[in-house]
Amino acid sequence: MFVDRIKVFAQAGSGGRGSVSFRREKFVPKGGPDGGDGGRGGDVILVAERHVDNLSNLFYEPIIKAKGGGHGMGKKMAGRSGADKIVKVPVGTIVWEAEEGKRRTSNIEHPTPNEEPENIDNRQLKIENLAIVDLVRDGQEFVLCRGGAGGKGNVHFKSSRNRAPRQYTEGEEGEQGHFLLELRTIADAALVGYPNAGKSTLLRKISAARPKVAPYPFTTLHPIIGVVDFSEYRRGTIADIPGLIEGAHRGLGLGHEFLRHITRCRALLFVLDIAGSEGRNPVEDLQQLRREIDLYDPLLSKRPWFVIANKMDLPNANENLKTLRKRFPKIDIVAVSAAKNEGIDALKQQLETWLQ
């Protein structure tokens, strides 16, 4: 299962209560207060990990809780600290507060995991302003909810006037809240095209990634990243995403939800079935794809873009390629046959310059 958007409830541990205790020992009458402090509650910590590729672990565990601190004890012994709860998330995870103003309150509500949050339109969300954090680096950590401090034991309340204090404090409550976690894949470029254009076949040829390839539309259901090795240890990352069709912005096909995964790409690589083997016209395909991207996010369609004309081994490919070049004279177009492994080395060289 691939989960790239999920609502969770997180709660850090509360601090332990301070202890009320008095020293009792032979030959030490009225030994005085010796109640220790409570331990602090554990934090809920998110860690971005390169090897985690989606948020499915949270689908099974949408309620994340860290342990509370232990209560203080006699003989000035402090309670143990609550263990932190560490949650691994993929690199590229953005965290939003799912219910504004509900963080850090003490009334524990029943979480409603997996419910699609309303009125969060990700295109309008300015990551920089509204997100709590954007975990973009491997190993990056973020304390989502901080554990509460431990309470004070009665040893702190001794004074000249009160030598046998019975006061103590409760531990602080841990922070808690509902959060929306969303994965926006991080890759240098994305392969954008109609279903069956050969995007996955292509990714298999240029990288070690092994996305499924099949002669029916919508084979690819979620993004897959391939690493392309260029010369001299240089490499680039390419995302293979599901096929896009006309009307995707209205929810046709798989819709355009998955396009969030290309919002961080520096370049878009449009993959065309240049032979028009399914009865479509590649020039129109390209225009339509550009239009869908623009409808999704006008800023995205302003990114650098290039064309990979695939299926050059089939009839009509050459003619169509000429027409396409005439129609888009300023755009870099590389012709390949992914299935026949033709033009792949040249494409890799181009990729290196495109992604510089």
Ligand X SMILES: Nc1nc2c(ncn2[C@@H]2O[C@H](COP(=O)(O)OP(=O)(O)OP(=O)(O)O)[C@@H](O)[C@H]2O)c(=O)[nH]1
Q: Which amino acid is at 275?
A: A
Burial of 178-188, coded b for 16+ CB within 10 Å and e otherwise, reads bbbbbbbbbbb
Given 54, 169, 200, 207, the residue binding ligand X (CB under 6 A): 200
Asked if 168 and 157 touch (Cβ cutoff 8 Å), the reply is yes
* Distance of closest approach, residue 253 Cβ to Mg ion, in angstroms: 13
What token pair was written down for 303?
């990114």
Q: Is 209 in the site for ligand X (CB under 6 A)?
A: no
Name the one range near ligand X by CB under 6 A: 8-16, 307-315, 318-326, 346-354.
307-315
How far apart CA 1 and CA 55 sit, in angstroms, is 9
Given 219, 277, 287, 301, the residue binding Mg ion (CB under 5 A): 219
Which 8-state DSSP code applies to residue 262? G
Given 218, 250, 322, 353, the residue binding ligand X (CB under 6 A): 218
Q: Is 220 in the site for Mg ion (CB under 5 A)?
A: yes
* The entry of Mg ion, ligand X, none that residue 117 binds, CB within 5 to 8 Å by partner kind: none
Q: Is 282 in the site for ligand X (CB under 6 A)?
A: no
- Closer of 11 and 288 to ligand X (Cβ): 288
Binding mask 313-332 for ligand X (x = CB under 6 A): xx------------------
| CA dihedral (288, 289, 292, 294) positive or negative | negative
Name the one range near Mg ion by CB under 5 A: 69-77, 106-114, 136-144, 200-208.
200-208
How far apart CA 135 and CA 311 sit, in angstroms, is 38
Helices (H), 50-163: 56-60, 127-130
- Closer of 63 and 214 to ligand X (Cβ): 214
Given 14, 54, 169, 201, the residue binding ligand X (CB under 6 A): 201
User: Whose CA is closest to 197, among 236, 245, 262?
Assistant: 245
* Distance of closest approach, residue 313 Cβ to ligand X, in angstroms: 5
Strand order in the sheet with 333-335: 224-229, 235-240, 189-193, 267-273, 305-310, 333-335
> 290: helix, coil or strand?
helix
User: What are the residues facing 172 on neighbouring strands?
Assistant: none
Binding mask 232-251 for ligand X (x = CB under 6 A): ----------xx--------
- Closer of 7 and 199 to Mg ion (Cβ): 199
Size of site (CB under 6 A) for ligand X: 24
Which CA distances in Å does 278 have to 6, 159, 281, 320, 336?
Answer: 36, 88, 9, 14, 18
Q: Is 311 in the site for ligand X (CB under 6 A)?
A: yes
Given 54, 169, 200, 310, the residue binding Mg ion (CB under 5 A): 200
Given 70, 90, 174, 193, the residue binding ligand X (CB under 6 A): 193
How far apart CA 115 and CA 35 sit, in angstroms, is 45
Please give the residue ranges that form the binding site for ligand X (CB under 6 A): 193, 195-201, 213-215, 217-220, 242-243, 310-311, 313-314, 337-339
Residues that bind Mg ion (CB under 5 A): 199-200, 219-220
